């Protein structure tokens, strides 16, 4: 390793971080590491400085934005954090839509400018593997309505926040390969690595016996499992394992005479009837196609103004790596519908309002909220542990049944945070900022 330039560290800082006097030291920014001369001296109020040669080698633009830490074990100075938000493309359409992927990337970039370290957006095609660099993009706001993505070359990041926006882009070969390669980089940490599959999530969570009571009985859908589940439950939900937005969901209800009533959600609602499991299996084929499905016990959800609702919790890790509720709201299904997704006609209510009407007593409400929070914590920890993956945020759907007991309906790993109508700008902003703060924590800062 060549020696490039010098790093000057103030005596005060050197003492504070336990850095011994030595001629040379390794210095790292993200994926770039170099040897440098080390000079410990008085710096007139500054804590550290880089010579132009070193700044150039490490692609540092404004070193005052970067924090410095020292890793005693590897005897290396680390400047950062460098945070890369991975997306599949950098949309820049005219006419700003605040609920779009583009808007979220712009928000993240703008919030990132105010945090210590450097935050950029990047795509698989912007990486240069030969020198561990990447073309990173930052949004330059020209007016309230207009702006542009401005690019510069940065080191590969300390931490990747995966915001690949869809399952279809996630499945593309170049994106899959890029992710695999990034995850293998030394020093690089990666969070929210992929979309979740409902059947896999069930299998991962059911390993934790504390969660048994909260998870509706679920099986991989086959004609055999369908028949078995119909014997046990009078309402079932058939759901595409890789589905979202309520699309492809089929609700089945058995009436007193044993007739099966089904409602399929696909561009509107389609109603039909079946006589038995085998008939139901055949009649649902047109909706299911060749996709993998789960069959799940239906929960008698509590209703608000006559419609079932569930609670969406944006559960996030904070700057200390601890889980907390980022945002929580109720989604009430459209009249006559049994799926509460906003894209399927559901509407947003505050939990406060719904709980006040349903449970009245403040102590009961407090107890429900604590119960839900503890449940989310167990879900998040078990999911991370059993999948051996790192998640900085999850969108957790909780259904309250008619006895006021919470059930887990679904876990999402890529919750959209710009789609819901906002009750508080502060909460909305903090919910966008938190994953970047968690990223800084993961980087060691
Ligand atoms: N087991 C269930 N019992 C009652 N309602 C359910 C059940 N599963 C799903 N739902 C309803 O359908 C909606 C969508 O289901 P979900 O599992 O979250 O799939 P998606 O990935 O399409 O959002 C839920 O928000 C809820 O309103
Ligand atoms: Mg859902």
Strands (E), 258-412: 260-265, 269-274, 293-297, 303-304, 307-317, 323-332, 347-349, 393-400, 406-412
Strands 147-155 and 189-191: unpaired
Query: Is 239 near ligand 1, meaning CB less than 6 Å away?
Result: yes
Topology at the third CATH level for domain 198-214+300-413: D-amino Acid Aminotransferase; Chain A, domain 1 (3.30.470)
Where does residue 290 rank: exposed (0-12), middle (13-18), buried (19+ CB within 10 A)? exposed
| Distance, CA of 189 to CA of 321 (rounded, Å) | 13
**Residue 413 to residues 68, 193, 442: CA-CA distances in angstroms?**
32, 8, 18
301 lines ligand 1 (CB under 6 A): yes
Instruction: Quote the pLDDT of residue 308.
Output: 96
294 burial class (0-12, 13-18, 19+ CB within 10 angstroms)?
buried
Tokens representing residue 291 in the block = 């996709």
Tell me what the mean pLDDT of segment 371-379 comes to.
Answer: 98
- Determine whether the shortest distance from the Cβ of 345 to ligand 1 is under 6 A: no
Furthest CA-CA distance within the chain: 88
**Bond into 125 cis (ω within 30):** no
Per-residue pLDDT, 289: 95
CATH code given to domain 82-191 = 3.40.50
Residue 192 pLDDT greater than 80, yes or no: yes
**156 has pLDDT over 70:** yes
Q: For residue 246, give the ligand nearest its CA.
A: 1
pLDDT of residue 252: 98
Average confidence score pLDDT of the chain: 95
The pLDDT of residue 416 is 85
Ligand nearest to the CA of 337: 1
297 confidence band (pLDDT: 50, 70, 90): very high
Percent of the chain's residues with pLDDT above 70: 99
Q: Which two tokens stand for residue 190?
A: 């990666």
Residue 244 Cα, ligand 2 centroid: separation in angstroms? 6
Dihedral class, residue 144 (left if φ above 0, else alpha if ψ from -120 to 50, else beta): alpha
User: Which atom of ligand 1 lies closest to the CA of 300?
Assistant: 4
Ligand 1 neighbourhood includes 218 CB (under 6 angstroms): no
Question: Cα(254)–Cα(213) distance, rounded to whole angstroms?
Answer: 24
Pairing label, strands 127-128, 133-141: antiparallel
Q: CA nearest 35: which of 69, 78, 2, 68?
A: 2
Q: Got the DSSP string for 101-149?
A: HHHHHHHHHHHHTTSSSEEEEE-GGGEETTTTEEEEEEEEESSSS-EEE
Q: Atom 16 in ligand 1: which residue has the minimum CA distance?
A: 410
| Helical packing angle, 362-387 and 351-359, nearest 10° | 130
Cα separation of 191 and 185, whole Å? 14
Where b means 16+ CB within 10 Å and e means fewer, 197-225 reads bbbebbebbeebeebeebbbebbebeeeb
Q: Tell me: domain 3-80, CATH 2.40.40, correct?
A: yes
Nearest to 406 by CA among 313, 307, 306, 305: 313
C-beta 399 within 6 A of ligand 1? yes
Would you say the CATH fold of 198-214+300-413 matches that of 82-191?
Answer: no
Dist. CA 318–CA 128, nearest whole Å: 31
Domain residue extents for the chain: 3-80, 82-191, 198-214+300-413, 218-297
Q: What is the pLDDT of residues 110-130, one digit of tens each?
A: 999 999 999 999 999 999 999
pLDDT reported for residue 401: 97
Encoded tokens for 245: 């937005």
- For range 192-212, the mean pLDDT: 97
* CA–CA dist 104, 301 (Å, integer): 32
Which pair of tokens denotes residue 169?
Answer: 């882009």
**At 163, phi and psi to the nearest 5?**
-120, 35
pLDDT score at 13? 96
Question: What pLDDT does residue 231 have?
Answer: 96
Q: What is the mean pLDDT of residues 290-319?
A: 97
Does the pLDDT at position 420 exceed 90? Answer: no
Give the span between the Cα atoms of 87 and 162, in whole angstroms. 7
Ligand 1 within 6 A of 246 CB?
Answer: yes
pLDDT of residue 61: 87
What confidence tens digit (pLDDT) does each residue in 92-106 have? Answer: 887 778 888 899 999
Nearest CA to ligand 1 atom 17: 410
């Amino acid at each position: 390793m060549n020696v490039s330039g010098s790093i000057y560290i103030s005596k005060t800082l050197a003492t504070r971080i336990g850095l011994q006097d030595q001629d040379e030291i390794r210095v790292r920014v993200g994926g770039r590491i170099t040897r440098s001369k080390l000079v410990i001296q008085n710096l007139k109020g500054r804590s550290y400085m880089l010579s132009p040669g070193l700044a150039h080698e490490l692609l540092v633009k404004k070193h005052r934005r970067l924090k410095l830490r020292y890793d005693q074990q590897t005897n290396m100075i680390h400047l950062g954090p460098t945070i890369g938000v991975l997306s599949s493309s950098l949309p820049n359409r005219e006419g700003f839509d605040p609920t779009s992927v583009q808007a979220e990337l712009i928000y993240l970039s703008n919030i990132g400018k105010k945090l210590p370290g450097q935050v950029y957006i990047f795509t698989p095609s912007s990486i240069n593997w030969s020198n561990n660099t990447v073309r990173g993009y930052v949004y330059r706001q020209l007016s309230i309505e207009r702006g542009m993505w401005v690019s510069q070359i940065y080191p590969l990041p300390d931490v990747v926040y995966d915001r690949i926006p869809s399952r279809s882009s996630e499945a593309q070969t170049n994106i899959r390969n890029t992710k695999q390669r990034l995850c293998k980089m030394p020093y690089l940490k990666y969070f929210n690595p992929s979309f979740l599959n409902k059947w896999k999530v069930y299998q991962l969570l059911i390993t934790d016996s504390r969660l048994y009571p909260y998870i509706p009985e679920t099986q991989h859908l086959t004609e055999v499992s369908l028949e078995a589940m119909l014997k046990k439950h009078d309402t079932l939900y058939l759901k595409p394992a890789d589905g979202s937005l309520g699309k492809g969901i089929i609700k089945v209800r058995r009436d007193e005479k044993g007739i099966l009533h089904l409602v399929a959600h696909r561009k509107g609602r389609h109603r039909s009837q079946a006589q038995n499991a085998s008939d139901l299996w055949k009649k649902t084929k047109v909706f299911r196609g060749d996709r993998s499905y789960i069959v799940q016990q239906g929960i008698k959800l509590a209703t608000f103004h006559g419609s079932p609702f569930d609670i969406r919790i944006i559960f996030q890790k904070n700057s200390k790596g601890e889980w907390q509720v980022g945002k929580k709201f109720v989604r009430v299904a459209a009249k006559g519908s049994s799926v509460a997704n906003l894209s399927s006609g559901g509407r947003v209510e505050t939990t406060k309002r719904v709980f006040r009407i349903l449970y009245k007593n403040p102590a009961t409400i407090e107890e429900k909220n604590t119960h839900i929070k503890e449940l989310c914590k167990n879900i998040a920890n078990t999911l991370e542990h059993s999948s051996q993956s790192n998640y900085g945020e999850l969108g957790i759907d909780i259904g309250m049944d008619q006895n006021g007991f919470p059930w887990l309906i679904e876990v999402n790993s890529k919750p959209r945070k710009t789609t819901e109508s906002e009750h508080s700008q502060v909460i909305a902003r903090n919910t966008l900022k938190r994953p970047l703060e968690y990223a800084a924590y993961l980087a060691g800062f």
